[in-house]
Amino acid sequence: MKQIVYADNAATTKLDEEALEAMLPFFVDDYANASQPYSFARGAKKAIRKAREIIASCINALPEEIYFTSGGTESDNWAIKNVVLSRSEHRMTITSSIEHHAVLRSCEAIERAGYPVVYLRPDAVGRVQVKTLEDAMTDKTGLVSIMLANNEIGTIQAIKDLASIAHRYGAIFHTDAVQAVGHVKVDVQDLGVDMLSASAHKFNGPKGVGFLYIRKGTEVISYQDGGSQENALRAGTENTAGIVGMAVALKRNCEQLDQHVTHIKRLEDMLIAMLDETGIAYARNGGQETLPGLISLSFHNADGEAILHRLDLQGICVSTGAACNSKETKISHVLQAIGLEEDYAKGTVRISLGRHNTEEDIENIVAAIKKILQ
């Protein structure tokens, strides 16, 4: 296989080897359905209980506040659509216009069902100002959903302040923390959130598994009906191996968080310094407080999609913020919401570094960008 420089860790991450090791027995040895009463199912049941405890302790929650799902998309759908399922009197939802499509499309679905949604516009670096939320709040607001960190430009939101505004009006506060969990410190008590979405494959866990944190006492209705798994709120045979792998991956990322952040930040600084040396004109999106290693760059008068394909020819994986068809360039909703000028937006590339990246990767990325753009 061609040597790959993987710099798209916001899309997905490499599975942690210890997580893989921990998962394997649940495919071939301890394969019992965890909900069965016989002793053969004890291993799976115990493993899920332990995984729930580990995950809860990583985000400072109680084990019974962790609900396993199939990933970030499902967790977001559950949190948003809960307002319709519960037929709450507080019908209005407030979110931001830079959320992931898992939130935005769920919001569009509840709008079609007659539940109004207000989309807050962030500032030029992608921050939702507390005052903007405060001005939009009414006594009809049932839910506020603002992501912890943006997946395209990395902006980290002032969740604690935003959640406290929501609570002042009696609304539930949900945060999509899919990009943040395992990468920055996430403490649900400190943040004061009522619901939080996470996805294992974003923090070196397996794909197809995640969780929704639901604070004890928060009014929620069953999202997926069937068996009595997950306290009868999310039915379906448990993905034992996935859940176990997710817990091990999260524990390892949280234990080594400082080390990883230091390593990734160093590579990030190196990339920016090397890029500056080239003299190529670019703008960096997302402001001062961004996810470690998430580097959204907008090159002036360039074509982000063409850069992506030319990097791909050299085995370098990154993402873009604008996609072209033969007639037009479609600039992402996030870049549009922050008001980035078109000359820059069209040339946007997202480089997202992870703990497995090296200095050599950075040298290769910058050398390739230089060759393409000069």
Binding region for ligand PLP (CB under 6 A): 71-73, 76, 100, 102, 147, 151, 176, 178-179, 199, 210
| 176 versus 230: smaller Cβ distance to ligand PLP | 176
Which of residues 73 and 364 has its CB atom nearest to ligand PLP in the complex?
A: 73
Give catalytic status of residue 254 as yes or no. Answer: no
**Which one-letter amino acid corresponds to residue 356?**
H
Neighbour tally for 247: CB within 10 Å:
28
Ramachandran category for residue 206: left, alpha or beta (phi over 0 → left; psi -120 to 50 → alpha): beta
In whole angstroms, the minimum distance from the beta carbon of 12 to ligand PLP comes to 8
- Smallest separation, CB 201 to ligand PLP (Å): 6
Cβ–Cβ under 8 Å, residues 159 and 176: no
Query: Which residues lie closer than 8 Å to 326 by C-beta, 6 or more apart?
Result: none
Distance of closest approach, residue 189 Cβ to ligand PLP, in angstroms: 22
Q: Which is nearer to ligand PLP, 290 or 364 (CB)?
A: 290
Catalytic residue among 58, 107, 317, 324: 324
Cα dist from 24 to 68, 127, 245, 252, whole Å: 19, 42, 9, 17
- Which residue lies nearer to ligand PLP by CB, 103 or 362? 103
Contacts 24+ apart (CB under 8 A), 323-329: 329/303
Q: How far apart, in whole angstroms, are the C-alpha atoms of residue 242 and residue 373? A: 42
* Chain position carrying tokens 């160093």: 266
Min CB(51)–ligand PLP separation in Å? 17
Catalytic residue numbers, as ranges? 324
